[in-house]
Each structure stands twice: as structure tokens, then as C-alpha cells.
Amino acid sequence: MGQGFDTKSVHVTMKRNEGVPTKVTPIHQTSAFTFDNLEDIENFFNGEREYLYSRVGNPNTDELGQAVANLEAAPVGIATSSGLSAIMVGILSVAQAGDHIVASEDLYGGTYELLANELTAFGIEVSFVSFENDLETAIRENTVLVYTESITNPLLRVENLKNIVEIANKHNIRTMVDNTFATPYLVQPYSLGVNLVVHSATKYLGGHSDITAGVLAGEEELIAKAKTKTVNLGSNLSPFEAWLTVRGIKTLSVRMERHVNNAARLADALAEHPAVDKVYYPTNVSEKGNGAIVTIDITNKGDIATFFESLDWIKIVATLAGVETTVSYPIATSHRSLPESSQQALGITKGLVRISVGIEDADDIISTMKQALDQSKK
């Protein structure tokens, strides 16, 4: 039975308690599951019953992993405690000591730290390169994985995933893509041949800025390995957070539709503003829209401190993708850990503002942004 993306995203309830026909899955807020007898214990280990202990598996976390896998058109998925832990177990399902990873140079700051500081301590080598120029030349004998983001942060470069998969396949290397900014509403990397798709579900999947969670979806063999890592490293998600994320996913389509329309209107409205040097907003993400992050650079024409003080109801936060419009300052938060030379090379300037466009009235978002820019005009 074929279903459209919107239908699939609304119908994510899969783990109802059949004894009590609740409309939504109850929160299985329990650390463990009981056994009737010794045979019942054996049944868990031979696969005849599902649950033992919540670090190992829980109906709510399983429901979330499978829901995102379905939206990504991937066979299986798992939920983890954060986007970063999903990235970690995903990478560890492919790479071990002695292996090499080629990663994009403009990754999310937290991902950069994980790869540059932690994975290297496990003996995994990482090269950070420009995927537009140097992807293929960075591949070595021991390269096992190519890692990037479908839309990069904060400058919103749209990755050519087909091209990357082609290069990786030619060299027999796996691919992993962070699809947080695009969401499966806009881009489905697994359908383009990517082996592992990862999300910070903290962002659009949850959608309401009230949880920290991650999801990894992809090939069965790799997800099975990542699941073992999740259990052994203790990176499991709590049942309540999984439940909230599933609840968020039910409105993913309608939220994204509004988010991307508002963002397109805001990007247009700010393009000619006299305090704005440059607007970053992609044009080639998907036929459904181009994402809901708009980044502006006001280094030369505006005063950045005045701008941040003039935003009225728009809050300054170090996150994105909630229903409320918010702004962040990448050089001081998400990209603080990048070396200064990389910040400069990538265009992460002292006048760069990342706007996460919410689902309010577009007119309100535009007028509030415009008056803050008017006040900050040099």
C-alpha cells in the first residue's frame, strides 16, 4: 500500500498496547520488563519476545527509530540520546582504529569536535576537505566513510549527494549524511544511495525545542552494528523523549510547509535591505522548498550588537528548527570550536546571523526583522 509522505508522517503510531486499544502509543516509562518464568527469559534471547531492559530496547524508542526510517525510505532506524550520539554510533558501525574518514570542512561545530577530538582518540583518522573541490583526491587506501550534511550550516551549501555517492561507490566506500536541516520532507538521502542518514531530532523532527534526541536510519547490516554500539556505549534515548519526538513528527509536514514558505518570503524581503551585505538562502534543495534557515551577513552595513538588541519577540538561542522564529550567532556558538582560519575561509564572519524561520505570520517575522535591521544600519 503506497502512502504519500504526509500520510506516512501522521501515521507513526506503531507500538500500541494491544490489550488496551489506546489511540496513541502509551509512554513505556520503565527501565525493565518482567518475565513470567525462566523460559520467558530464553524467549528474549531467541527473539520470541521483544523487551528485556530499556537501555537495550524500549517500545517508544523503537517506534521513533522505525518512524524516521519509514520517512527516509530506509529499511530500519534507531533512536539515540542526541544527534551527536547518533552520529557517533553511525560512524562506529563503519569505522574502527586505523580507518580514515573524509568529512566536509563545513560541518556543524559539535560534529567537527566529535570527529576532530574524540574519534581521533579512538585511532580513526579524519580529513576535513571542500567537497566541491577535493573529495576524490582526499580518499586514501584506508578510507571507509564519506561524511557530510545535505544542507550545510550556517551557509546553507546544498550538497550534491548523487555525485558524492557515485564517487564513494567507485572507491567502495560508505556514505553517511546528516539530514537535520533538510528533513525527509525535502530530501531523502537513502533514496539517492546514501548508506546512513542521521538526524538531530532535537531540531525539526521534534520541532518544539523541548527534547534532545537523535535518529540513525539506513542499511540493515550497519544499523544492527550501530544498535549494538548504542547499547554498549549507553547512548539510548529515554522513552518519554522518544514519545515526544514521535508526537512532533505527526505535524512535520504541515510545519515544514509553513516553515519553508515563510523562509522563502523572508529571504526575498531581506535581499534588498540597506543593512544587509548578503543573504544566504539556497534555491536547489527540492521542489517542495528550500529549507527554513535564512542566513544573513551584515558585517559592513550593519551593527551586529544593535541588531541582536532590537529583535523584540524574536529570541536569541543556540539552536534552530523550533516553531518560533529565533536567531543564532554562529561565530559565538555552533561554530565557535572551528579553527579561526576555517571560520574565515568558510565565511563565518562577525556579522553573520542565522535565522531559524518559524511558523508565525510571515508578515510579523518580516516586519520585526526589518525594524531590527533598520536600527542596526550603519
Ligand X SMILES: *Cc1c(COP(=O)(O)O)cnc(C)c1O
Contact residues toward ligand X (CB under 6 A) are 82-84, 108, 110-111, 149, 153, 178, 180-181, 200, 202-203, 212, 214
Nearest distance from C-beta of residue 110 to ligand X, angstroms: 5
The angle subtended at Cα 57 by Cα 95 and Cα 183, nearest 5°, is 60
Bond into 154 cis (ω within 30)? yes
**Smallest distance from the beta carbon of 354 to ligand X, in angstroms?**
10
Which residue, 63 or 149, is less far from ligand X as judged by CB?
Answer: 149
Q: How far is the CB of 31 from ligand X (least distance, A)?
A: 23
Which is closer to ligand X, CB of 259 or CB of 273? 259
CB closer to ligand X out of 202 and 376: 202
**Strand 100-104 versus strand 125-129 pairing type:** parallel
Nearer to ligand X, 83 or 218 (CB): 83
Residue closer to ligand X (CB basis): 107 or 165: 107
Contact between 122 and 79 (Cβ < 8 Å): no
Determine the residue with CB nearest ligand X.
83
Q: How far is the CB of 236 from ligand X (least distance, A)?
A: 14
Q: How far is the CB of 282 from ligand X (least distance, A)?
A: 15
Q: Of 9 and 153, which CB lies nearer to ligand X in the complex structure? A: 153
What span, in angstroms and rounded, lies between the C-alpha atoms of 5 and 162? Answer: 21
CB of 302 to ligand X, least distance (A): 25
291 or 351, CB closer to ligand X? 291
Question: Is the Cβ of residue 84 or residue 348 nearer to ligand X in the bound state?
Answer: 84
Q: How far is the CB of 80 from ligand X (least distance, A)?
A: 9
**Residue nearer to ligand X on the CB measure, 71 or 197:** 197
Query: Smallest distance from the beta carbon of 361 to ligand X, in angstroms?
Result: 25
Q: Work out how close the CB of 243 gets to ligand X at its nearest, in angstroms, rounded to a whole number.
A: 17
